[in-house]
Chain A
Amino acid sequence: MNSQAINPLEGAQTSAAPADSPAVPSSTPPGEGAQPPAVVLPAKGPLLTRTGWSAFVVALIVVCAVAPALNLWVPEGSPLHMSTYAVALLGKIMCYAIAALAMDLIWGYTGILSLGHGVFFALGGYTMGMYLMRQIGADGNYKSNLPDFMVFLDWKTLPWHWTFSDSFAATLFLIVAVPALVAFVFGYFAFRSRIKGVYFSIITQAMTFAAMLLFFRNETGFGGNNGFTDFKRILDIPIATPSMRMTLFVMTGLTLLGFFLFAKWLVGSKFGRVLQAIRDAETRVMFSGYSPLGYKLTIWVISAVMCAVAGALYVPQVGIINPGEMSPANSIEIAIWAAVGGRASLIGPIVGAFIVNGAKSWLTVAYPEFWLYFLGALFIGVTLFLPNGVVGLVKKLRKGSEQ
């Protein structure tokens, strides 16, 4: 079965080398006086272009200064005031954008469609949620030091996997470590036996489905189908105050921008080039002497960790995490954000996440009947008519107008 046939030339980002060209490694054994390698690699482009950097700085200012100012200091009646609702919504969408970016790295740049990224998102979320549950302390409905659902289940002590949940530092570590470990184990076995293409997609879907069933059980110790909610504090600071919300918002924005730069650097590096070569012709990469396993596994783990960080930022802002986040439908939705914006471009998935989720939050309120029609049509329309997403469309239009 061939790997997906996305248009390799259009899909590749700004780097000059067509991804399809034989990627001759620069690290071939030194020639020791033999002929120099015949292929000269193109020079590495800058991380961002001039316009790119200016746009990045503008985004940075908007996130760190403009949004807090509009929300916290502009009085409520003013037309410029940014409502709490808008802060919550944008913060949530930025989390989604991080997830979409992670999906883009694995799907757009490596050609591996994961239908199980919801698991990593939820794992990050649950790890953060455990910490937030412990922060409630004895202020829950049952006035117990245990989380409410455990009192309800008549448990007397915390289960073992809650051991480190009261330390914020350990939580931060686990947010990265747990999904990384899960992704590593799963990815190692899957990539080692060369599962690819649709098979891999279906297996990841089975994984998220199994995880969802597991987390739905009360005995698993994650609150069953209610999950975690009713958070009160984070780092002993009340979580629902405007300033705390804004802090989380800014943190999310900075993470998104940071991950964007990181991804940009990653895909431009040699590592990223090999990934794109694997996407376009895995067999040829193998015949050129590379083992794709390490590359695939690394990007898979990186992508999973990014997704988990998104989940960890998502939970305190939204205030709830439950196993529904692991439903196969949610994971597939992440893919459509990336597809709508444009795969194999880094700005695409971010744009896509904003477009789709903006439409979702508007449609589910205004015309709840039509949301699924719209989403379904989006899936069909994008795959049929916009293989490179909105970003690809804009590029095409710009090219057309230049000529």
Chain B
Amino acid sequence: MPLRLLLLWAALFLTVQAHALTAEEARALALGETDTRVEALNKAAVSADDKTVAFIQALSDDAVKTSGSQVFIVKDDKAFDPVTGAEKPLPADAEDVINPNLMRSELDNALAALKLLSGDAKLRAEAIKTLAGESDEARLPLIEKAWAAETVPALKSQLELMRAAILLGSSDKAKRLEAAALLSASKNPATKTVLIERLSSEPDADVKVALKAALAKVESSLVWGDRLGAIFSGISLGSILLLVALGLAITYGLMGVINMAHGELMMIGAYATYVVQGLFQKYLPGAFDWYLLAAVPVAFMASALVGAALERGVIRFLYGRPLETLLATWGISLMLQQAVRSIFGAQNVGVENPVWMSGGVQVLGNLSLPYNRLVIIGFAVAVLLGMAFLISKTRLGLFVRGVTQNRPIASCMGVNTARIDTYAFALGSGIAGLAGCALSQVGNVGPDLGQGYIVDAFMVVVLGGVGQLAGTVYAALGLGILNKFLEGWVGAVLAKIAVLVFIIIFIQKRPQGIFAMKGRSAEA
């Protein structure tokens, strides 16, 4: 911070004809009613020199004391005069200056506004961000000054917007009209709210027309961002559903085992990620950013092992009895949940994003794609491709398909069907673990992590149809996008209900899902 302040002061020396802080100003800033202090602050900020900045900073840091009409900056237990900078003895009756919330936010804004004049483009960008919602006319001169001095085009246009937003609140009709024209070029969602707000309180008819025109323009330039945003979050949700459902597509779609503990296998994957994170924090803090790379195989193995144990221990004895399998695996899921609660506690645990996954790409004014979502979409695609390869090209995949299609014949051909069952179930469980690892990066990790997704996942598999992967992919993406679009319309809960109702109706029409396996069985 000190370095930044230094820079700030240096910049101020160069760009502003400084007007030195006077004792009256200091008093006005520190003493009296909040309203008059705010007024004084706005006045002082327009023509601030380094001393004024230091004083405002001190006010904001609660480092100012007053005694009678004397004002002091206190630093390291020593008191200084804010005007001369000389050290002074602090009177015994000195009191802290109390800043109410209003004053505090004004101080922050004033500091940010002063940063607008800094020589460092980064500092200026930061300041613009802080001031984005500002509409106080008193700040106009400062912003205009900064606007005139600004050299970076992107920042300049942002300042222009800010200026227009403030002008919009002006009492001068011509200025408001000018502002409306300026704002119509904006591609920022915040502009829309500013315009709508002003429109509701605008008394003048001419300005109203101009405002409406500006609003229409802004909306039309925003609409694409909104649409793309909805599609992106739909794809993002779809990719998560896909990861969750891919494991089910193997255990349920190929093997016909209803695994209600699938969500808990995901939870195990997420907790495995948490454990790996903890190990990295403790033993390899230097490589912490790459803990996810280690967590992926660990999550896969952890869930796969648990899955294999389940298959050998319980599910094996229930083949051909799907309803019993459902109940038994539900029991397993309860036990796994309680086990995690006993080991890690009932609270959610924190899993951090590595640095390279935080942040995002800004595509349009109102559309930014977070990296963690992008990574998960990529991850889902990779898992899908890996699985498609495994099932269609490898020996294990061949055996799995053979056993699913005709168990006795596969057995006659020398396939150890029992072992293939275990492998296939472990594979499906491992993919659940991968899904859990991915989920730990976007949501909470807690004992009931799996419960929230299990209904959705089954819906995906049921909708997609049993027996192949393509249906699962289409169903996951379709449900994800449908869900997000409905969310924009009717809100999250109703969207979810609508999707469930849609699936229930869809199943009426096509009981075997989008892609049905063709066959001649009477039981189809």
Interface residues of A (CB under 8 A from B): 1-2, 4-5, 113, 186, 189-190, 192-195, 197-199, 201-203, 205-207, 209-210, 213-214, 216-217, 283, 328-329, 332, 335-336, 339, 369, 372-373, 375-380, 382-384, 387
Q: Are A197 and B323 in contact (CB under 8 A)?
A: yes
Q: Are B497 and A213 in contact (CB under 8 A)?
A: yes
Q: Which of B321, B451, B500, B511 contacts A4 (CB 8 A)?
A: B321
Nearest Cβ in chain A — how far from B255, in angstroms? 13
Q: How many A-B residue pairs have CB under 8 A?
A: 127
Q: Which residues of B contact A376 (CB under 8 A)?
A: 331-335, 338
Task: Assess whether B131 is interfacial by the CB under 8 Å rule.
Answer: no
Task: Assess whether B330 is interfacial by the CB under 8 Å rule.
Answer: yes
Q: Which of B318, B458, B507 contacts A193 (CB 8 A)?
A: B507
Q: Are B327 and A283 in contact (CB under 8 A)?
A: no
| Given A206-B503, A372-B334, 6 more pairs with CB closer than 8 A | A5-B321, A199-B507, A202-B462, A206-B500, A376-B334, A383-B324
Task: Assess whether B138 is interfacial by the CB under 8 Å rule.
Answer: no
Task: Assess whether B326 is interfacial by the CB under 8 Å rule.
Answer: yes
Q: Which residues of A contact B325 (CB under 8 A)?
A: 383
Known: A193-B508, A376-B338, A384-B318. A206 touches B455 (CB 8 A): yes
Task: Assess whether B501 is interfacial by the CB under 8 Å rule.
Answer: yes
Nearest Cβ in chain A — how far from B472, in angstroms? 15
Q: Are A383 and B508 in contact (CB under 8 A)?
A: no
Q: Are A1 and B322 in contact (CB under 8 A)?
A: yes
Q: Are A383 and B322 in contact (CB under 8 A)?
A: no
Task: Assess whether B429 is interfacial by the CB under 8 Å rule.
Answer: no
Per DSSP, are chain A's interface residues mostly helix, strand or loop, or mixed? helix
Q: How many angstroms between the C-alpha atoms of A207 and B258 in the bound complex?
A: 18
- 9 contacts across the A-B interface (CB closer than 8 A): A1-B256, A1-B523, A2-B320, A209-B455, A283-B522, A369-B342, A372-B334, A379-B328, A380-B314
Task: Assess whether B509 is interfacial by the CB under 8 Å rule.
Answer: yes
Nearest Cβ in chain B — how far from A113, in angstroms? 5
Q: Quick one: closest B residue to A339, CB to CB?
A: B327
Q: Which residues of A contact B256 (CB under 8 A)?
A: 1
Q: Are A372 and B511 in contact (CB under 8 A)?
A: no
Known: A2-B320, A201-B326. A210 touches B332 (CB 8 A): no
8 closest A-B pairs by beta carbon, nearest first, are: A379-B331, A376-B335, A372-B338, A376-B334, A210-B500, A376-B331, A383-B324, A383-B328
Q: Which of A189, A207, A328, A380 contacts B331 (CB 8 A)?
A: A380
Interface residues of B (CB under 8 A from A): 256, 258, 314, 317-318, 320-328, 330-335, 337-339, 342, 451, 455, 458-459, 462, 493-494, 496-497, 500-501, 503-505, 507-509, 511, 522-523
Q: How many angstroms between the C-alpha atoms of A285 and B328 in the bound complex?
A: 30
Nearest Cβ in chain A — how far from B330, in angstroms? 5
Between B330, B333, B451, the greatest number of chain A beta carbons within 10 A of the residue's beta carbon is seen for B330
Q: Which of A5, A335, A336, A378 contacts B320 (CB 8 A)?
A: A5
Q: Which of B323, B335, B523 contacts A198 (CB 8 A)?
A: B323
Known: A197-B322, A336-B327, A372-B338. A203 touches B507 (CB 8 A): yes
Q: Which of A2, A283, A372 contacts B337 (CB 8 A)?
A: A372
Q: Quick one: closest B residue to A115, CB to CB?
A: B326
Q: How many angstroms between the C-alpha atoms of A5 and B325 in the bound complex?
A: 12
Q: Quick one: closest A residue to B331, CB to CB?
A: A379
Q: Are A283 and B523 in contact (CB under 8 A)?
A: yes
Q: Which residues of B contact A193 (CB under 8 A)?
A: 507-509, 511
Q: Are A189 and B328 in contact (CB under 8 A)?
A: no
Q: Which residues of B contact A1 (CB under 8 A)?
A: 256, 322, 523
Q: How many angstroms between the C-alpha atoms of A194 and B524 in the bound complex?
A: 9
Q: Which residues of A contact B333 (CB under 8 A)?
A: 376
Nearest Cβ in chain A — how far from B350, in angstroms? 24
Q: Are A380 and B332 in contact (CB under 8 A)?
A: yes
Q: Quick one: closest B residue to A385, CB to CB?
A: B317
Q: Which residues of A contact B321 (CB under 8 A)?
A: 4-5, 383
Between A186, A203, A210, A380, the greatest number of chain B beta carbons within 10 A of the residue's beta carbon is seen for A380
Nearest Cβ in chain B — how far from A383, in angstroms? 4
Q: Which residues of A contact B455 (CB under 8 A)?
A: 205-206, 209, 328
Q: Quick one: closest A residue to B510, CB to CB?
A: A193
Q: Quick one: closest B residue to A217, CB to CB?
A: B493
Q: Are A210 and B501 in contact (CB under 8 A)?
A: yes
Q: Are B338 and A373 in contact (CB under 8 A)?
A: yes
Nearest Cβ in chain B — how far from A157, in angstroms? 23
